[in-house]
Amino acid sequence: MSLTGTGPAETRESAPTSPTARSMWRASRMAMLLGLIIVAAAVLSVAIGGGAGPSRRLDPDDTSLDGSKALAQLLRSRGVTVDRADSVTRARELSRSGDRLLLITDTSFVLDPAALAAIPGDRVVVGDLYRVDLLAPGVRSSAEVGSRSLEPACPLPAAKAAGSAFMGGAAFTAPRGATGCYPADDDGWSLVSLPNAGGTTTVVGSGEFMTNRRLAEDGNAALALNLLGSAKAVTWLVEPPEDGADGTVAGPAGRTVYDLMPPGVPWAVAMAAVAVLVTALWRGRRLGPVVTERLPVVVRAAETVEGRGRLYRARRARGRAADVLRAGAIDRLLPRLGLAPDAGRGEVVTAVAARTGQDPVQVGAALYGPEPADDDGLVALAHYLDSIERTVGEH
């Protein structure tokens, strides 16, 4: 409700507050636009992501940055068969085919190392695995080192042809008869190669150079191909899946949770969503615009000023009252002095002092001075401001 001055009360009738179709559209169009943007973003993310799960480190079927899909594709392009295995039994079955290399990644540490050591042929061991001495006799972990680009500094053909590579992770000691490459700050070697009963065993401190993220850097791709491409086939050991980790329910059927739902559940969920949306649109309407009402009484301006003054006096707000008096006086003086509304203090004080002949220091204290110390000071300030306005108006 607004207050009027001394004039007659307004006679305009009250406007209706019920929302119209146009006002409802104006109020809801922004929410609808945001809803459409959210739905479009969700559909686009699903279409691009395709429901991809978490990354699987050093997995030949994983296309994420931590996976090794790119290396597996390079091996296959060179005629090397890449078979993914997640158990010792599967790796043993594949080894019967003859010329085959066994790749044991650091994600397959849960498998039995003694059983893996019994599989004949070449093998590449990635990381400081549990009982790595069973897979590579005489090799011991000496330190943990940071991964960085290193030079081979060894005569091993696979490493010498590749050159610098992104190596690190764990450092190993090289036993007698073994070849150590990529020295790790005098703490050992990031790659150790030694003969075994049925071929060659190579241990590397980290498989980061074989991931999709690092394969294109330095000589990483060349080193990986030289180590894994020496045989006609590669048995690539990965972490065994956990029950239900792929979204299936444990059991012979292996059906997903969605397969176990009754056929009517998706329709019920869809109808519930529609009902919630309709209810939100129905009950979520906003109030109409603010309307002005005809005042029941006339409140004179003098009474409003007196009421505000009594409030200032009751709260002892002399500073606030002085600010109001000064602001009103300055607003009325500026047009009389021909000054702009944004005129500075010095400009206003100089102009008032020149027009009234008063001391500029006294004028400045009156217009921009401190808060009056008592009520008498506030009354004196009001009288002085009134006299300045009358003097300016007379000249």
Q: What is the pLDDT along the chain (395 residues), one digit of tens a residue?
A: 333 344 443 444 445 555 666 766 776 777 677 677 777 776 666 555 544 456 788 888 888 888 899 999 999 999 999 998 888 888 888 888 888 899 988 776 667 888 888 888 888 999 888 788 888 888 888 888 888 888 999 999 999 999 999 988 888 988 888 999 998 877 788 999 998 877 899 999 888 899 999 898 888 899 999 999 888 899 998 887 765 444 334 444 445 666 666 777 777 788 888 888 877 777 666 666 777 777 777 778 778 878 888 888 888 888 888 898 999 999 999 999 989 988 998 999 999 999 988 899 998 998 998 988 888 888 999 999 999 999 988 87
* Whole-number Å distance between alpha carbons of 27 and 19: 10
Within 10 angstroms of residue 157's Cβ, the number of other Cβ atoms is 11
Asked if residues 108 and 235 have their Cβ atoms less than 8 Å apart, the reply is no
* Whole-number Å distance between alpha carbons of 103 and 105: 6
Give residues with Cβ within 8 angstroms of 387, minimum separation 6.
none
Strands 199-204 and 233-237: unpaired
One-letter identity of residue 327: A
Q: What pTM did the predictor assign?
A: 0.50
Asked if residues 391 and 336 have their Cβ atoms less than 8 Å apart, the reply is no
> 180-205 burial by CB neighbour count: b if 16+ within 10 A, else e?
bbbbbeeebbbbbbbeeeebbbbbbb
Q: Which of 217, 71, 223 is nearest to 156 (CA)?
A: 223
* Whole-number Å distance between alpha carbons of 164 and 218: 6
Q: What is the CA radius of gyration of the chain?
A: 43
Asked if residues 101 and 80 have their Cβ atoms less than 8 Å apart, the reply is no
One-letter identity of residue 267: W
Question: For residue 209, what is the DSSP state?
Answer: G
